Amino acid sequence: MNLRRLPLTREISLAVLVYLYVPVVVLIVYSFNANRTATVWSETSLDWYRKILVNPSIRDATWNSLVLATAAGIGATLLALAAALGMKSRFRGKGLVEAVLNAPLILPEIVVAVATLMLFVAIGIDMGLTAMIPAHIAFCIPFAYLPIRARLQGMNPSLEEAAQDLYANRFVTFRRVTLPLLWPGIMAGFTLAFVTSLDDFLTSFFLSGPGSTTLPVYIFSAIRAGITPEINAISTVMLIVSVALVVTSFLLGKMRR
Amino acid sequence: MTTTPSAITVQSVSKSFGRGDAAVRVLQDVSVEIGAREFFTLLGPSGCGKTTLLRLIAGFEDLDSGAILIEGARIDHLAPFQRPVNTVFQSYALFPHLTVAQNVAFALEMQNLSAAEVRRRAGEALEMVRMGAFASRKPSELSGGQQQRVALARALAPRPKVLLLDEPLSALDLKLRKEMQIELKQLQTEAGITFVFVTHDQEEALTLSDRIAVMQGGRILQLDTPRAIYERPAHRFVADFIGEINLLDGQVSGPGKVRLDCGAEIAAPADQAAGARVTVAIRPERASLAQGGALPAEVTHAAYLGTATILQLRLANGAPFLLRAATANLPEIGAHVTLSLPPEALQVFAA
Ligand SMILES: Nc1ncnc2c1ncn2[C@@H]1O[C@H](COP(=O)(O)OP(=O)(O)O)[C@@H](O)[C@H]1O
Ligand SMILES: [Mg+2]
């Protein structure tokens, strides 16, 4: 059956798209609004972008977010890569390990955040980036793991055997065959982990200390003082950075094939 | 006999997959000696253990028991990259991220040859399979037959002592397969390398091989030249698997006599005791139409092949019989005829 022939398919699709993207479009449009009141349009201006550039709190929060997302992305991707390679072999309890790896996807984040906070307090770890980085790595692992695992499963197992057959030892096989073939998956995994960390509010909110405020935490506290076009501008920048990352990683993955 | 050791010796090799109750014996006490520069074929139906034996020689699986030697030296404890054998995989397994030239150079680079030497020998290997013009392409830009050639060049480039080929032609269409068969045979002769070739295609095995091991259920049933396997199959299974053959069930009725289930009594080289159930086998081209022959039959169908005609016949008990006859003086469909079965063309297997 051809779905396109069904009545109203176009109209419903359009309505869903509008429903999904109208808020984002409104946010972007109002970030170029000169008026102080975020919801009243006066004229086009880049003032708010200039303001966020010179605001030291925003600069610090951006820097913190980028450091955190980079560390979480790299850490989660390395662990996910090791996990995916380990999951190639058969062993007892493999299904359980797989479930544990993906648990952060379904566990309520607030519970994990509170639990982490209590643990860190109990063992005397100071709040701040040192607390946030391991916590972010933990919940980013499944986002990095899934694309790498998918890539590995789609790989012809004969390729690694062929490399060994052609006199490459395990290490050389990994470097010259496995790694290049997994690369698009690794890039996709890193990007997803990076974006997930960048966007995280709950865990960061619970674990941030003085001077380690991230962008989402900053936006949350700023919004309590009222919605300003500044927030629209920051959000737009975050949106552009995330989308640009995902698109770049997608294109890089395409190019390598 | 010469004193040079065999290229490959497989000694009492057994292999199971799985553990405990779920264990499946895939190879049972397999022994083979393969000579230097021999074109040796493992032939058998799907699932009989051909690939497993090849993977044991290449080192991708561990032996349960037995030993594997190359030129007299044990290799079964070595990792795949330490063994002087190369494999042509059924799926070709060309590295998709490397060009054709890089694929072929892969093993040469592992051997620490100079860059110039690597380039020269990769080029040579590609020329050998007439793929020199495609050196800078990616595997995905090649046809199946071209990928097959590159896989061959890649495996031959480091000049292994033994080349293992796992159904290398099975993905090609018939015409290309016939062409590649000839090329493979030429390559093997020119390169002077021992080939261990796996196929389930009996015609391919008969055409190419110096010797064939016919496998079934993890055992080698018969190991001989193509001609001997075709003309003197040692088992009913081998007779049935290789080429067309008529298998007639019956009972030994006296010394050198078998009464077939269709009622006819024929002279056959049976050494079983009287009363034993046996199967008598004869190739379609070895029987003939003859007045007064021992085996009555009715013609049911005729297929004209140009040089010959294949007649389908029905025996008195309804059993089918195939006969390859010269095209002159053919009986009509429905005609009742008698067949002569020369005793020297018959083989008798215990049922
Ligand atoms: N890794 C494996 N695990 C379990 N069973 C296997 C494995 N490899 C092969 N087998 C089984 O061993 C038998 C022989 O397989 P194989 O050697 O591939 O046969 P062939 O190449 O002759 O078709 C088959 O029944 C197959 O299912
Ligand atoms: Mg096979």
Q: How far is A174 from chain B (nearest CA, A)?
A: 13
Contact of B278 with B258, CB cutoff 8 Å: yes
Q: How far is B266 from chain A (nearest CA, A)?
A: 54
Instruction: Looking at the structure, tell me whether residues B225 and B263 fall in a common domain.
Output: no
Tell me the H-state helices in B157-280: 174-191, 202-208, 226-231, 236-241
Residue B324 sits at φ, ψ, to 5 deg, of -100, 115
The predicted structure's pLDDT at residue B229: 94
Q: Give the domain extent around A236.
A: 55-256
A126 inside domain: yes
* Residue at which a domain ends, from B178, B211, B239: B239
Cα(B222) to ligand 1 centroid in Å equals 20
Cα(B111) to ligand 2 centroid in Å equals 29
B235 inside domain: yes
* Residue at which a domain ends, from B239, B273, B296: B239
The predicted structure's pLDDT at residue A38: 67
Residues 6+ apart with CB under 8 A from B56: B13, B15, B27, B62, B63, B68, B76
B97/A contact by beta carbon, under 8 A = yes
Which residues from B are below 8 Å from A156, CB to CB? 91, 93
The predicted structure's pLDDT at residue B1: 45
CATH number of the domain that B41 lies in?
A: 3.40.50.300
CATH number of the domain that A209 lies in?
A: 1.10.3720.10
Contact A167 B111 (CB under 8 A): yes
Which residues from B are below 8 Å from A180, CB to CB? 97
Instruction: Looking at the structure, tell me whether residues B268 and B214 fall in a common domain.
Output: no
The predicted structure's pLDDT at residue A3: 65
Beta strand B194-199 pairing with B211-216 = unpaired
Q: What is the pLDDT of residues A14-52, one digit of tens each?
A: 999 999 999 899 888 888 888 877 677 888 888 888 888
Q: Give the domain extent around B121.
A: 8-239
Place of tokens 């001077």: A211
How far apart CA A47 and CA A27 sit, in angstroms, is 15
B65 inside domain: yes
A256/B contact by beta carbon, under 8 A = yes
Interface of B with A in 123-142 (CB under 8 A): none
Model-level pTM? 0.84
Contact B87 A162 (CB under 8 A): yes
Return the structure tokens found at B224: 């001989």
B106/A contact by beta carbon, under 8 A = yes
Q: Along the 351 residues of chain B, how does pLDDT read in single tens digits?
A: 445 678 999 999 999 998 878 889 999 999 999 999 999 999 999 999 999 999 999 999 999 999 999 999 999 999 999 999 999 999 999 999 999 999 999 999 999 899 999 999 999 999 988 999 999 999 999 999 999 999 999 999 999 999 999 999 988 888 889 988 999 999 999 889 999 999 999 999 999 999 999 999 999 999 999 999 999 999 999 999 998 999 999 999 989 999 999 999 999 998 888 999 999 999 999 999 988 889 999 999 998 888 888 999 999 999 999 999 887 778 889 999 999 999 999 999 988
Return the structure tokens found at B49: 């253990």
How far apart CA B322 and CA B96 sit, in angstroms, is 48
Cβ neighbour number for residue B175 with a 10 Å cutoff: 9
Q: Which helix (H) or strand (E) holds A85?
A: helix A56-86
Which residues from B are below 8 Å from A185, CB to CB? none
Ligand 1 atom closest to B55 (CA): 17
Place of tokens 């396109």: A4
Task: From B97, B88, B265, B245, select the one nearest B167 (Cα to Cα).
Answer: B88
3-state DSSP assignment of residue B136: coil
Q: How far is A166 from chain B (nearest CA, A)?
A: 5
Return the structure tokens found at B335: 């005609």
Contact A161 B79 (CB under 8 A): no
What does B254-280 look like in DSSP terms, one character per residue? ETTEEEETTS-EEE----SPTT-EEEE
Contact A166 B111 (CB under 8 A): no
Residues 6+ apart with CB under 8 A from A212: A64, A127, A128, A129, A132
Instruction: Looking at the structure, tell me whether residues B114 and B204 fall in a common domain.
Output: yes
The number of folded domains in chain B is 2
B3 inside domain: no
Residues 6+ apart with CB under 8 A from A7: none
Which residues from B are below 8 Å from A92, CB to CB? none
Pocket mutation for ligand 1, best pick of B50, B52, B57 (most atoms within 8 Å of C-beta): B52
How far apart CA A34 and CA A197 sit, in angstroms, is 31
Interface test with B, best of A91, A161, A164, A167 (most B CBs within 10 A): A167
Q: What is the pLDDT of residues B76-94, one digit of tens each?
A: 999 999 999 999 999 999 9
Number of residues that make up chain B: 351
Cβ neighbour number for residue A40 with a 10 Å cutoff: 9
B332 inside domain: yes
Residue A125 sits at φ, ψ, to 5 deg, of -90, 130
